[in-house]
Amino acid sequence: MEKLKVIKIGGHVIDDDDQLRSFLNAFSALPGAKILVHGGGKTASQMLEKLGVKPKMAGGRRITDAETLSVVQMVYAGLINKNITALLQAAGCPAAGLTGADADTIRAVKRPVRDIDYGFAGDITKVNTENIDILLKNGFIPVFCALTHDGSGQILNTNADTIAAELASALSERYETELVFCFEKKGVLLDVNDDESVIPHITEESCIKLKSEKKLKDGLLPKIDNAFQALQRGVQQVLITHISALSDSDDTGIQSGTRITIK
Amino acid sequence: MEKLKVIKIGGHVIDDDDQLRSFLNAFSALPGAKILVHGGGKTASQMLEKLGVKPKMAGGRRITDAETLSVVQMVYAGLINKNITALLQAAGCPAAGLTGADADTIRAVKRPVRDIDYGFAGDITKVNTENIDILLKNGFIPVFCALTHDGSGQILNTNADTIAAELASALSERYETELVFCFEKKGVLLDVNDDESVIPHITEESCIKLKSEKKLKDGLLPKIDNAFQALQRGVQQVLITHISALSDSDDTGIQSGTRITIK
């Protein structure tokens, strides 16, 4: 089976032009099939504020009302996705910027209203692996922003980590897939105050132990739970690593960060 | 040679939700290979105003400074292009929303500064017919907004009529291409005050005559000149017609409007 890397970059790197360019150059240089998924950075919040759209929150989570969706859609799909795509093209990477609506790649359902109405937030229902495979097989590099669609004409806001995990899981039926979360730390840290205390390898067994010892901090728990879900659905390996780690990769893969596998 | 329609829709239809949906349904129903190119409508101007970006003009033309480009990019590629793509998907049309940066489809050069610096305005230098052909051959329907890129990481603002004409011209080496401009009139009118006075057919010869009789109004002259340029570069036929004309098309093509051919 051919190998595929699904790489997700988060907020901070997107807001820093130099870091972003350096990351995108490293991404371009990676051999083999690959997909990039990017978050929104601070620009969406700044644009919402500029346009006087007040953040609507419920239970600590942002609610995507129609007005918020328009702004998020403009920033994610228009500004950030196209800037990244143009920069990748400049680096020689045949990128194609996508939302889930483009080529019907990712469908979602508007999150059902129970206690809270999250508005235009989408829970993924289907990854169109056939269409994504056509793009990959023809040499295009898909670059996804955090937007999906419902198949009835509505764009939906969907968490970028979730998009990356769902893409990697679904595509593991066609590729030997690795899911890589790049962020501002060197990996999962044993001591949040010590940047060098990276846990090199987490398995299901060691994860239970780390959790019982309360050594996994809240911020990373959803990422780690996402990781194990993806592994259970066929992803070969999940890596949580620093955005600069891509530059240090060699033929055997990315060399630093926290490797997560089932066993 | 396979047939291809390159269809451009302008401002008014994009601002009217019902008209847009009806147009997109008709577009979806059109048989054969097709490409949609859309303008920006009023949303870009409204967003520029909301964000307090003052229009910069020179010689009656808008200058695209960095701030203006950001807003235009958000509205064209983020808001309008993705709404259209999601609506086309809902209508069963396998749309893929694109800027010229995506899959390196359209390259441009920042307009050289002579008397006026137009800012981030792009003059098209290359249409990547190979990559567009890959998308078409795999059943995807490209939907272009009015943005190109320079190959060095910069998105550029490019007139949607020009993009449509350049796409049709370049792709005429691979397809028997028809270029269709859809707008709010039924075609080129002999009398601007009489909506029924559509000139059914214009040739190079009749165009010279119409011009000498001052029967072609200023607003349409650039479209008509664009049309003849496209015809000289291999486009089979150019049609200037009403946005509703697509609904009336049959196997032999779209039945109303002004047909422009060399002879």
A209-237 residue pLDDT tens: 999 988 887 778 888 988 999 999 999 99
Closest CA to A226 of A55, A1, A4, A10: A10
| Angstrom distance (rounded) from CA B79 to CA B91 | 18
The nearest CA of chain A is from the CA of B80 a distance in Å of 9
Query: Is B149's CB within 8 Å of A89's CB?
Result: yes
Q: CB distance B77–A81 less than 8 Å?
A: yes
Q: Is B24 helix (H, G, I), strand (E, B) or coil?
A: helix
DSSP letter, residue A94: -
Closest listed residue to residue B260, CA positions, set B217, B233, B219, B231: B231
Closest CA to A73 of A55, A51, A97, A99: A99
ipTM of the complex: 0.95
Residue numbers in A near B51 (CB within 8 A): 50-51
Q: Residue B124 to residues A46, A157, B129, B150, B163: CA-CA distances in angstroms? A: 33, 33, 13, 9, 8
Stretch A6-24: mean pLDDT = 91
- Measured CA to CA, the distance from residue A52 to residue A109 in angstroms comes to 28
What's the burial of A37, exposed, middle or buried (CB within 10 Å: 0-12/13-18/19+)?
buried
- Give B25-79 pLDDT, tens digit per residue: 999 999 999 999 998 878 998 999 999 998 788 777 779 999 999 999 999 999 9
The rounded Cα B138 to chain-centroid distance in angstroms is 23
Distance between B33 CA and the closest CA of chain A, angstroms: 15
Decide if B260 contacts B228 (C-beta within 8 A). yes
Is residue B250 pLDDT above 80, yes or no?
no
Q: How many CB pairs under 8 A join A and B?
A: 119
Pick from B50, B85, B153: which is nearest to A102 by CB?
B85
Supply the pLDDT for residue A158.
Answer: 96
Contacts of A208 (CB under 8 A, 6+ apart): none
Of A47, A73, A86, the CB nearest to B149: A86
What is the C-alpha to C-alpha distance for residues A77 and A67, in angstroms, rounded to an integer?
A: 15
Query: pTM of the entire structure?
Result: 0.96
For B7, the token pair is 């269809």
Chain A residue with the nearest C-alpha to that of B146: A78
Give the range with max mean pLDDT: A51-60, B34-43, B128-137: B128-137
Q: What are phi and psi of B122, to 5 degrees?
A: -110, 130
Q: Which residues of A touch B78 (CB under 8 A)?
A: 73-79, 81
Report DSSP state, residue A66: H
Q: Would the CB atoms of B101 and A86 count as touching at under 8 Å?
A: yes
The DSSP bridge pattern shows strands B57-58 and B61-62 to be: antiparallel
Tell if the CB–CB gap between B103 and A140 is shorter than 8 Å: yes
Count of helix runs (H) and strand runs (E) in chain B: 9, 14
Kindly report the average pLDDT of chain A as a whole number. 93
pLDDT at res. A67: 94
- Nearest Cα of chain A lies from the Cα of B24 at a distance, in angstroms, of 11
Q: What is the rounded CA–CA span in Å between residue B47 and residue A32?
A: 41
